[in-house]
Amino acid sequence: MNAIYLDNAATTKIDTEVIAIMQSSMEENFGNPSSIHQFGRKAKSAVETARKNIAKHFNVSASEIIFTAGGTEADNLILHNAVLNLGVTRIITSKIEHHAVLHTCEFLQKNHNVTLEFVKVDSDGSSIISHLKTLLKSSKEKTLVSLMMINNEIGNLLPIDEIANLCKENKALFHSDTVQTIGHYHLDLQKTPIDFIVASAHKFHGPKGVGFAFFKKGFGILPMFHGGGQEKGARSSTENVHAILGMDKALAIAVSNLEKDKNYIESLKVYFISELKKLSENIQFNGLSSDLDKSSYTILNVRFPVKNEMLLFSLDLAGIAVSGGSACQSGSNKGSHVLSEILFDGEADKTSIRFSFSKFTTKEEIDNTIGKLKEQL
């Protein structure tokens, strides 16, 4: 059996067209974008064209896009900037955010005396809107709300428009970790008033090590890196030209094929759910991951009726790549902080696996995975 890759929420296979663009750039755009000679100007022009292209997908201006090394850096840049530059003294988030947000918020709380408050989540992992409203009205401190649009482990979709408007009504800044969103859902930032979003190219068939942060116009940016003053002073470091062009191409492909890919991947998810239910009526789905209207079509988090600590290992030996939580925690025996937050002890002890799909996933791979799971249960 050929290897089966079902861990696309961790990273995706690079599209061949993206590889071609990057190879061409490596051959032709070897100049430093900060150099004033023709080789540097050519590289700089390519970077700025990519910036304009990316901005158009979100209906924003190119000056609002800052290139980074990925989503984690972008989250850090936004959160640090909010506190150290924009006067934020209180952050409202949830305990099921990505650690790029959670750990940064904890750092800011400890080192900059930021008030950190957590909006409650229900047993499905959904933020309780009424509690968020209460928190927003409970203080006059300058507040930033940070809630991810799609949870990377359970796939829950945040009611993004409702949250954005609620923040606007209460004069709170709104940051959303949109790493699992970009390239999979349309996001018009003129219609949805989010102040800060982030992206990582490797989540939508682009290269690793490149992403961007969106800062709504009017917010100054205090850099975390100092040196060359690149990215209009917001992020010193020579731009990763080839990766930026690869990200531009990957996003263009994703956006142009979004509905077709969504329909295809969603059909695989529906089929997988139906086949899993045939395996055992006691199989359950964590969060809202089995609800097609309230979760990402790319993620399904499955809770098996047994505790089988070797299941992930057995699947890996069979050539099937999946995740027992976020890939950022793989190698850790701490388990999933998301599942620990939303499941009772007895249920949290059961084996849960995150399966995540892409346009390259096939029905045959789903069938082979079901067959292997049948042997293990």
Q: Give 61-85 pLDDT, tens digit per residue.
A: 999 999 999 999 999 999 999 999 9
Residues 215-221, mean pLDDT to the nearest whole number: 94
Whole-angstrom Cα distance, residue 84 to residue 112?
8
93 and 105 in contact (C-beta within 8 Å)? yes
Whole-angstrom Cα distance, residue 179 to residue 9?
9
Whole-angstrom Cα distance, residue 177 to residue 175?
7
pLDDT surpasses 60 at 148:
yes
- Give 119: exposed, middle or buried? Use CB within 10 Å, 0-12, 13-18, 19+: buried
The values of phi and psi at residue 198, to 5°, are: -135, 160
Q: Which of 88, 234, 79, 213 is nearest to 147 (CA)?
A: 79
pLDDT surpasses 60 at 165:
yes
Q: Which of 220, 256, 252 is nearest to 66 (CA)?
A: 220
Residue ranges of the domains in the chain?
4-12+257-376, 16-256
By annotation, the residues acting in catalysis are: 328
For residue 1, the model assigns a pLDDT of 65
79 and 105 in contact (C-beta within 8 Å)? yes
Domain 4-12+257-376: which topology? Answer: Aspartate Aminotransferase, domain 1 (3.90.1150)
For residue 219, the model assigns a pLDDT of 93
Residues 351-355, mean pLDDT to the nearest whole number: 96
Residues 241-254, mean pLDDT to the nearest whole number: 98
For residue 329, the model assigns a pLDDT of 46
- pLDDT confidence band for 330 (50 / 70 / 90): very low
For residue 331, the model assigns a pLDDT of 47
For residue 325, the model assigns a pLDDT of 62
Higher pLDDT, 375 or 268: 268
303-315 burial, b at 16+ Cβ within 10 Å, e below that, comes to bbeeeeeebbeeb
SS3 category, 146: strand
Percent share of the chain, pLDDT over 90: 92
290-326 pLDDT per residue, tens: 999 999 999 999 999 988 888 999 999 999 999 986 5
81 and 221 in contact (C-beta within 8 Å)? yes
Count the helix, strand and coil residues of the chain and give each as a percent rounded to the nearest 5.
45, 15, 45
For residue 101, the model assigns a pLDDT of 98
- pLDDT confidence band for 90 (50 / 70 / 90): very high
Tokens for 131, please give them.
């509690």
Tokens for 180, please give them.
């699992």
Q: Where do the H-state alpha helices sit in the chain?
A: 16-28, 38-57, 71-84, 99-112, 129-137, 160-169, 241-256, 258-279, 311-317, 337-342, 345-348, 363-376
Q: How many helices (H) and strands (E) does the chain have?
A: 12, 12
Percent share of the chain, pLDDT over 70: 97
Whole-angstrom Cα distance, residue 256 to residue 53?
13
Residues 169-185, mean pLDDT to the nearest whole number: 98
pLDDT surpasses 60 at 245:
yes
- pLDDT confidence band for 328 (50 / 70 / 90): low
pLDDT surpasses 90 at 348:
no
Q: Choose the CATH number for 16-256 among 2.40.50.140, 3.20.20.80, 3.10.20.30, 3.40.640.10.
A: 3.40.640.10
Whole-angstrom Cα distance, residue 101 to residue 119?
14
303 and 75 in contact (C-beta within 8 Å)? no
Tokens for 209, please give them.
């090590």
